[in-house]
A and B are shown apart, each in its own frame.
Chain A
């Protein structure tokens, strides 16, 4: 397996979402490990802008040729943006999971939830158990 990149400026969940915090906005996507496990991604289903999510809610799905995986909100808040460009560029999830393939932006309603997300080191440790 190729080496899995885990940037240290992001927060993570055990379900393999990454979260980038900028003020009260959380940008969310799936990790390099997740896309590597899925293989060729062919469909991404994202929520409508305005949707209210609680931490842990399913907010969408990502389908590869061989399987379908749910996406879970790392934090609570309102969806303020969804990356509609992914619909026609699902390859980005495999090629640039932390950049072009961001999925949604959430205006956080409870920023304290960020503290319970995993750091790079903690996420790396959770992968070692896989």
Chain B
């Protein structure tokens, strides 16, 4: 599962939906793997408007990647900044979480990730 996916997922517990602490989920004991993907600047530029940048900054830091700037780059800045393009590409498109847990900051429930597949099925007492 690509790290970018964490920008689109949240805790599955209903009562967590209204809490800002349920997003993004926090990786724990994460084992990362890297996949070779060809860099596509257009893709990264088009991703910017639909990424929650603050959440991405959190995820990036928690996974041990270099701290992202406080504000997202503008399309022009990103296009002109080869290093930023490359860093974002590596983080979003090439890095996959293979093992570990995703933890909700609100209810502390831990979702297991095994062989790259996260399990969001809730135990019956949380449904």
Report whether chain A binds chain B.
no
- A interface residues with partner B (beta carbon < 8 Å): none
- B interface residues with partner A (beta carbon < 8 Å): none
